[in-house]
Structure 1
Amino acid sequence: MSNEDETIDTAAVGASVVTSTESNSKRSGSSSGGASDNNIVKTIIFDVDDTLYDVASGFTIHRQGEVIYQYMVDHLQFKSIEEAKIIRDKYFKLYHSTGKALTVAQSEDELPVGAPTFDIQHMAQYWVDHLNYNILWGCDSTYASTTKKNYDKLKKSIKIVAFSNGPRSYVVKVLKTLQLWDLFGSNEDADDGKYVFGVDDVLPYCKPEKESFEKIFDTTGKTIRPEECIMVEDSMKNIRAAKALGMKTILITGSSEDGRDLSGDAPSTNDPAVDIAFQTIEEMKTKLPGLWQNPSIFEPY
């Protein structure tokens, strides 16, 4: 696997975004006319990290900083935290997924000589075992009760999907810690996690590559039509990719920029690929009340 093979064609995505955004603008009419085929929503896809919890909690920088660097020293034979940081950060800037970043780094002989084969499941288990999940509660101790109550109601009429660039076992741990796991089951009461996807479910792709989104559409039984789907994200690259595929978009900005791992991908609320932006997902009920109607309606204006 080479960088050339894996590099995302951002120019092509950008062109598609402009076309899709213009088309979306033409479709969007006044909300006073009620439901139309253009604003009905049947699926919401949530990113997990810095979306289902606030980036300002510091959990992401904890995971993608001290913990992953120590993993690379302990298990991939890097001589120091500093050396590990150089390699991880280099590839993470390209792929926004540590699992894919280290997979590609290994294929390009960037891991230390004699290092064991990188195993994304091994890394995921390290995160499950070594991260301080109490940090997730750092910003809002009422998160579980308020958010879960709202989204339990939403799930009655909308398919709710979780799609992360983190490995699945880690994503499961986060969702269960946040008490949101059963939102992503196969029906109102299921806790089977049928609609939870990690990067290991879509490799060799990852967000924002369009093939990763297409795998999600296919795996859910081809019942997701992009134009009837909302992507909820904190990453501008992923927002633009979703819009290029014809999806509606919600940008989660976070309550502050403290703790953001990639400052170059910071939220840009004026970007044409963004349909609506707010700080945390708790605001969705008040900013987009139409989603709780039957049928669910996306009315961001």
Structure 2
Amino acid sequence: MSTAGRVWLFDLDNTLHNATPSIFPHINRAMRQYIEHHLGVDESEATRIRQDYWMRYGATLRGLMRHHGTDPNHFLRETHAFPDLRRLLDFQKPVLHALRKLRGKKVIFSNAPRHYTEAILGMTGLDRHFSAIYSLENLRFQPKPMLAGFRTLLRAEHLDPKHCIMVEDSLANLVSAKKLGMKTVWVSTGLRQSPFADIKIKSVLELPERCGQL
């Protein structure tokens, strides 16, 4: 496969920007409050439910839909409302230069809702580098690591998984990508290694120099 024929599938949060310091705490708090209010449980139980469904299904929403009939669009609007998102952003502008160096089509593949994904891409300038966005809505609320979500994207974009490279911070999602025949890049600062990652990098900034190993 030529480098120009590659298709890069990029996760968003904690792959292209750092959501851990400010954005994830905001979302986690909003999800906990949503669960408290709509399921009538206390803070401790709401936290347990949020974490349990995230671990079991790849997204808290998937568990809420399956076990409680939660309206996904209402949940996503309520839990991803940011009055001042720009202030919470932790983004390295050199990432834009790194993306410019990568030959091939680039697609966003995120478990986040579309309005949030588009806001992040627009505020950072990342939107200029991606030809398509796949968020939770157009994955039919079948988040990574579910294979169904991957297949929805592949069908819609008419892609051969053998031509795709998945760039992710979540190892579970890379396991699914590898099962489908994709190349995989694990974005992680940890020491752990995995056979499901073709290469491991600490930051997307390293990708132009390392992509020759794929």
TM-score (norm 1): 0.63
Is it true that 1:82 corresponds to 2:44 in the alignment?
yes
Which of 37, 43, 66 matches 2:29? 66
Structure 1 position 215, deviation (Å): 0.8
CA deviation string 1:37-79 (max 9, x = no partner): 387752000111211113553432432x2121123334x1534
Tell me how far apart the structure 2 counterparts of residues 178 and 81 of structure 1 sit (CA, whole Å).
34
Q: Percent identity?
A: 26
CA deviation string 1:117-159 (max 9, x = no partner): x22222222244236532322xx5xx13x122332453xx411
Which of 50, 72, 76 matches 1:124? 76
Q: Give the structure 2 partner of residue 102 of structure 1.
A: 64
Unmatched tracts of structure 2, length 5 or more: none
Q: Give the structure 2 partner of residue 168 of structure 1.
A: 114
Tell me how far apart the structure 1 counterparts of residues 89 and 109 of structure 2 sit (CA, whole Å).
18
Structure 1 position 250, deviation (Å): 0.3
CA contact (8 A) 2:59 2:111 kept: yes
Q: Give the structure 2 partner of residue 237 of structure 1.
A: 172
CA contact (8 A) 1:269 1:277 kept: no
Q: Give the structure 2 partner of residue 18 of structure 1.
A: none
State how many pairs are aligned: 213
Q: Which moved more, 1:89-98 or 1:166-175?
A: 166-175
Structure 1 218/56 Cα, relative in aligned 2: closer, same or farther at 3 Å? Answer: same
CA contact (8 A) 1:40 1:228 kept: no
Structure 2 counterparts to residues 250-269 of structure 1, below 5 A: 250-254=185-189, 269=192
What SS class does the counterpart of residue 144 from structure 2 fall into? coil
Tell me how far apart the structure 1 counterparts of residues 50 and 115 of structure 2 sit (CA, whole Å).
20
Tell me how far apart the structure 2 counterparts of residues 71 and 130 of structure 1 sit (CA, whole Å).
15
Higher relative contact order (CA closer than 8 Å, sequence separation 6+): 1
Structure 1 position 174, deviation (Å): 2.3
CA deviation string 1:137-187 (max 9, x = no partner): 2xx5xx13x122332453xx41101111122222222222332123223xx
Is it true that 1:136 corresponds to 2:89 in the alignment?
yes
Structure 1 249/103 Cα, relative in aligned 2: closer, same or farther at 3 Å? Answer: same
Structure 1 position 219, deviation (Å): 0.9
Which has the greater radius of gyration? 1
CA deviation string 1:54-109 (max 9, x = no partner): 3553432432x2121123334x15343223212222211111212212212314xx
Q: Give the structure 1 partner of residue 95 of structure 2.
A: 147
CA contact (8 A) 2:9 2:108 kept: yes
Unmatched tracts of structure 1, length 5 or more: 1-36, 108-117, 186-194, 255-266, 289-297
Tell me how far apart the structure 2 counterparts of residues 39 and 244 of structure 1 sit (CA, whole Å).
22
What SS class does the counterpart of residue 84 from structure 1 fall into? helix
CA contact (8 A) 2:174 2:184 kept: yes
Structure 1 271/39 Cα, relative in aligned 2: closer, same or farther at 3 Å? Answer: farther
Q: CA RMSD in A?
A: 2.4
What SS class does the counterpart of residue 36 from structure 2 fall into? helix
Structure 1 73/178 Cα, relative in aligned 2: closer, same or farther at 3 Å? Answer: farther
CA deviation string 1:249-272 (max 9, x = no partner): 000004xxxxxxxxxxxx674211
CA contact (8 A) 1:53 1:280 kept: no
Amino acid of the structure 2 residue aligned with 1:67: A
Structure 1 245/42 Cα, relative in aligned 2: closer, same or farther at 3 Å? Answer: same
CA contact (8 A) 1:167 1:198 kept: yes
Tell me how far apart the structure 1 counterparts of residues 84 and 60 of structure 2 sit (CA, whole Å).
18
